Amino acid sequence: MIKRYERQIMNDLWSDQKKFDTFLQVELAASYAWMKKGLYSMDVYEKLSKASFQLEDIENIENEVKHDVIAFTKAVGLTLGEEKKWFHYALTSTDVVDTAQSLILKEVNQIILNDIDQFMSVLKTMSEKYKMTPCIGRTHGIHAEVTSFGLKFALWYEDMKRLKKGFMDAADEVSVIKMSGAVGTFSGSHPDIQKVAAKYLGLKESVIATQTLQRDRHAKYIHMIALLGSELEKIAVEIRHLSRTEVGEVSESFGVNQKGSSAMPHKRNPISSENITGLSRVLRGYVTTSFENIPLWHERDISHSSAERIILRDATTLIDYMLVRYADTLSKLEVDPDQMRRNIDYTHGAVFAQGVLNHVIQNGLDRQEAYDIIQRLAMHALKQRTSFLTLIESEISLKPYIKSSELNKIFEPETYLKHVNVLYQNVFSV
């Protein structure tokens, strides 16, 4: 991942140093399990546990042998004595690689879960702050009816509750140990080795595998990351629309010395939201690759390996960056409730047509007749830019079905927020 979209904490977790440190952790877990099995003494294990390596040695050896795990074991062997014969005993490379990857993902997932929690905290704060702030709701991009600006954030919070659960499930399925050998039969090892090593490493056991863990696990995991990214894009697209000059209800925070355009000094663009939109596209692209990694030849091939080296690091690094960046953007979002009011008034009251329709139906007018009359008056108000309320009050055919004391309330934006508390209770009570 390019540094522009990467936090240092993720860079460190996906570094070569971290990878080989984790390889060593897995190898020593297996060594511990063999000691417990009685293959060799505690004294031998203690010598093995002092193993180390130099990253430079691994790189130099790999240039010669063209195999990173063999290069790793040879480099570690340089730091051991006679006991090195037991290092990597009865393991195949993927026992180490898949298990180490599971351990790294376990750490990565905790960071992403923390990011999700922080992002949800921002959504909740914004939803509470603007709970009773009226704004126009839009369907098909057209003014529809009044809603609450805070409800947008409440809905996104509910979305994130589902997505967090899905991510946790997927994360759990990629955090497993695999130590069943060359084709998954434990033929050169013993099932007890995986069991003891799993406990040692704090991982769940794989029930069955070939030489590799099944890649549907990782496909589901990447899929959930892409869904998280698409949710962020969903929010970002809304913010971008509301930031347009002719809408003007929100704007991203803009620094004193920040510039929006090299040519136009007046520009103030929703660049963070556009950034999130673009990065979400990248995440969805990784889903295809992860699904194509599922079918491998027989008990394994390595067609998935090169792709995973890219997509697992990049997908997790991107979603971490996106969650952190957009939480900050939304927490600093500049909101203009006065402009929201002006936009509610933009249709001269026509957006209250459904309220009027329901009112006259309740007072005895046939629904189809009422709809036709009110539609005609609403279209007239929009086209002639005149008061819809005045047209309703002047319409002779409606007078027997209108109660003036109730009509004015229909044209008050706050009337349309009467059930907001119920919706908030549904979202935030659990």
Nearest to 153 by CA among 280, 322, 326: 326
Question: Strand, coil or helix: what is 334?
Answer: strand
Residues in contact with 165: Cβ distance below 8 Å, sequence separation at least 6, in sequence order: none
Nearest to 426 by CA among 94, 91, 154, 32: 154
Q: Output the CA torsion 118→123→126→127 (10° steps).
A: -140
Torsional sign, CA 316, 320, 321, 322: positive
**CA 90 from centre of chain:** 39
Catalytic positions are 140, 261
For residue 323, the surrounding DSSP H or E stretch is: helix 303-331
Helix pair angle (149-173, 420-428), 10° resolution: 20
Nearest to 110 by CA among 163, 157, 172, 162: 172
